[in-house]
């Protein structure tokens, strides 16, 4: 745990970029301008939160990082190898599991698609299922699990390839608060264990301050960066951190930044 805490504390804000979006714009054939001139850098090893009101293009930015959408203008620089499953893990807003496959087969999917041997894939999936706290559920079907457990399966599937970069699109938004807090803590523990870079889209200021080293605030119509907050967390991030004055103060700042961004993205 100490190594994790020191590692996250030591994440320099000047670390080399893992992925850079430079002047990225995205417009759709319908004429909607989702992003315009978006400059955004995800640094190696950091936990970056993309915070903004609904429809501000933060999910689009994440999809462009993943290579799932092509920018209409601007450039994307990846310093983590090609945009493929081995170096990028993606967690969707929904668990997005294959309902016909058992938990183990769902988690194993990226390894199976990459042609990893059966025994090896099975072992790695089993290990990752344990790491996300689902030991013994490998043979269950997604339908038999709660929403929080399904999201854990989704997380295990994203991490099973040990990606350099983990992209998460409001993954816990649909969960109840208790479940979300637990998953937040577990996500931080997994990050400490695996040391992957994380870009995390959320519209919750509390969640962003609790999780992130750095928060990028976006506003919509068209989506662009309006603010940036470096989160100061003196100790390890545990439930106690939520009770500190520093946490409350930073939540207030983040909230003000989002409120400003939301006002800026009101339809004119």
Partner 1 sequence: MRLGHGARILSWAMPVLAFAGALLAWDLVVRLNGIPPFILPAPALVAATLVSDWPILSASLWVTLRTTLEALVVATAGGVALAVVFAQSRWIALSFYPFAVILQVTPIIAIAPLLLIYLSPDAAVLTCAFVVAFFPVLSNTLAGLTSVDPNLRDLFRLNRASRLAELLRLRIPAALPSFLVGLRIAGGLALIGAIVAEIAAGSSGQGSGLAYRIVEAGYRLNVPRMFAALALISIAGVVIYGSLALLSHVLLRRWHDSTVARDG
- Give the end-to-end CA distance of the chain in Å, rounded to a whole number: 49
Q: Is 147 in the site for partner 1 (CB under 8 A)?
A: no
Distance of CA 191 to the CA centre of its chain: 11
**Span near partner 1 by CB under 8 A; candidates 50-58, 59-67, 182-190, 192-200:** 59-67
61 vs 88, which CB is nearer to partner 1?
A: 88
Q: Please list every residue from 100 through 119 that binds partner 1, using CB under 8 A.
A: 100-101, 109-110, 112-114
5 vs 101, which CB is nearer to partner 1?
A: 101
**Span near partner 1 by CB under 8 A; candidates 19-27, 60-68, 205-213, 229-237:** 60-68
CB of 68 to partner 1, least distance (A): 5
If binding means CB under 8 A, how many residues of this protein chain bind partner 1?
A: 24
Distance of CA 142 to the CA centre of its chain: 22
20 vs 87, which CB is nearer to partner 1?
A: 87
Q: Please list every residue from 61 through 100 that binds partner 1, using CB under 8 A.
A: 63, 66-68, 83-85, 88, 90, 92, 94, 96, 98-100
Q: Is 141 in the site for partner 1 (CB under 8 A)?
A: yes
Q: Give yes or no for a contact between 63 and 53, defined as CB atoms under 8 angstroms apart.
A: no
Q: Give yes or no for a contact between 44 and 104, defined as CB atoms under 8 angstroms apart.
A: no
CB of 204 to partner 1, least distance (A): 21
Q: Is 174 in the site for partner 1 (CB under 8 A)?
A: no
Among 142, 171, 220, 222, binds partner 1 (CB under 8 A): 142
63 vs 237, which CB is nearer to partner 1?
A: 63
CB of 144 to partner 1, least distance (A): 9
* Alpha-carbon gap, residue 153 to 95, rounded angstroms: 8
Binding site for partner 1 (CB under 8 A): 63, 66-68, 83-85, 88, 90, 92, 94, 96, 98-101, 109-110, 112-114, 141-143
């Amino acid at each position: 745990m100490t190594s994790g805490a020191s590692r996250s504390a030591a994440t320099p804000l000047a670390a080399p970029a893992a992925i850079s979006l430079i002047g990225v714009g995205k417009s759709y054939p319908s004429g909607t301008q989702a992003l315009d001139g978006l400059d955004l850098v995800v640094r190696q090893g950091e936990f970056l939160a993309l915070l903004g009101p609904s429809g501000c293009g933060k999910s689009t930015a994440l999809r462009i990082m993943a290579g799932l959408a092509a920018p209409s203008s601007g450039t994307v620089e990846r310093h983590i190898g090609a945009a493929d499953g081995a170096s990028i893990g993606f967690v969707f807003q929904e668990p997005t599991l294959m309902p016909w496959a058992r938990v183990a087969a769902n988690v194993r999917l990226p390894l199976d698609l990459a042609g990893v041997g059966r025994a090896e894939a099975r072992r790695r999936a089993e290990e990752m299922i344990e790491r996300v706290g689902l030991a013994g559920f490998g043979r269950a079907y997604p339908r038999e699990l709660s929403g929080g457990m399904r999201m854990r399966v989704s997380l295990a599937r994203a991490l099973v390839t040990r990606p350099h970069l983990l992209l998460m699109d409001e993954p816990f938004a649909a969960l109840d608060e208790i479940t979300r807090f637990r998953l937040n803590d577990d996500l931080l523990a997994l990050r400490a264990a695996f040391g992957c870079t994380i870009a995390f889209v959320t519209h919750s200021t509390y969640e962003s301050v609790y999780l992130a080293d750095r928060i990028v605030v976006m506003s919509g119509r068209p989506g662009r960066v309006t603010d940036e907050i470096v989160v100061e967390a003196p100790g390890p991030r545990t439930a106690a951190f939520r009770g500190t004055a520093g946490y409350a103060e930073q939540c207030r700042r983040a909230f003000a930044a989002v409120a400003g961004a939301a006002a800026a993205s009101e339809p004119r």
